[in-house]
Amino acid sequence: MHKCSTNSVCLENQTNVNHRDARMQAMKIATWNIKQAVAPKKPLPELWDYAAEVIGADVMVFTEGKVPGDGVPEGWTAVWRAEGIGERRRWGTVIAARNGVELMDITNGVDGDGGFVISHSWPGTVTIVDVVQDGEAVLTIAGIYGITQDADGNSVGHGGYSVPNILNELVDLVNSPRGERLVIAGDFNLLPADMPEELYEIMIDVVEDTSDLREPLVGCTRCSFDGEPCGHMWTHKNGGGPNGAVQNIDYVFIAPELAEVCVDVYGGEADFEGIWNVSDHAPVVVEFEF
């Protein structure tokens, strides 16, 4: 079982949420894979509308995502690699914001004091932004997609090679001042028992950390709870029909310093009824109050 940080997300202790300073503002962050491996596929603009109207997030990390052909939808702003991951993969990790939230693209690093250096083994799979609310940078988000390839480009069917390498490339960011407000979110293509343990030593998996607040996920594939009932989320239905595997492969990690401003965590099939009629992935949503 993964070990949660001592700076845990204690939603059950947020007893005074309704009495907080009225000047505090809520911000919802969500990750959602929108490639849709299972037919019938929805039009891309419809998926962006779903993100706005149903998920209701202020900032979306779209993995295996694209911007509609006629541009970023009205009301949104977005950061992405226009050429995608490559010639045969015109999709990538798109971070989009709405409701007046601004994004600053820092995917390729920041010069000077307090900055960070980064290189990308798979350009397009990682997008990094500063999230600005009312002129203040309140979060830094690294949206990642665990591409299912090895170093030679061979398909391996999981993120077991790419994710550790991507995380290693993020080390300078994690150790920079931005690391104290960092969110790492996306589709890791890894089941809970296969996740890199070292990530749990420095950041909080908000789903595992709040697992006791949810009903056990029946049939959780390669669960990390060693046979105990877990509170993972069903974020990926692997295969069509009623017997698709129950998989938790989409994650949100937050810096320990953000635990005290994290006020809600929800998602998966349980919180988005009918999601399998929209996509084969379900969103994971985290709400902060600043």
- pLDDT per position as a tens digit, 55-105: 999 999 999 999 999 999 999 999 999 989 877 788 999 999 999 999 999
In the chain, domain spans:
25-289
| Stated pTM of the model | 0.93
- pLDDT per position as a tens digit, 225-259: 987 889 999 999 987 777 789 999 999 999 999 99
Number of C-beta neighbours around residue 243 at 10 A: 9
The CATH number of the structural domain formed by 25-289 is: 3.60.10.10
CA–CA distance, 72 with 64 (Å, rounded to integer):
16
Q: What is the pLDDT of residue 243?
A: 77
pLDDT bucket at 279, cuts 50 / 70 / 90: very high
Phi, psi of 190 (to 5 degrees): -135, 135
How many Cα atoms are found within 13 Å in the side-chain-facing hemisphere of 116?
A: 23
Percent of the chain residues topping a pLDDT of 90: 81
Q: What is the pLDDT of residue 18?
A: 46
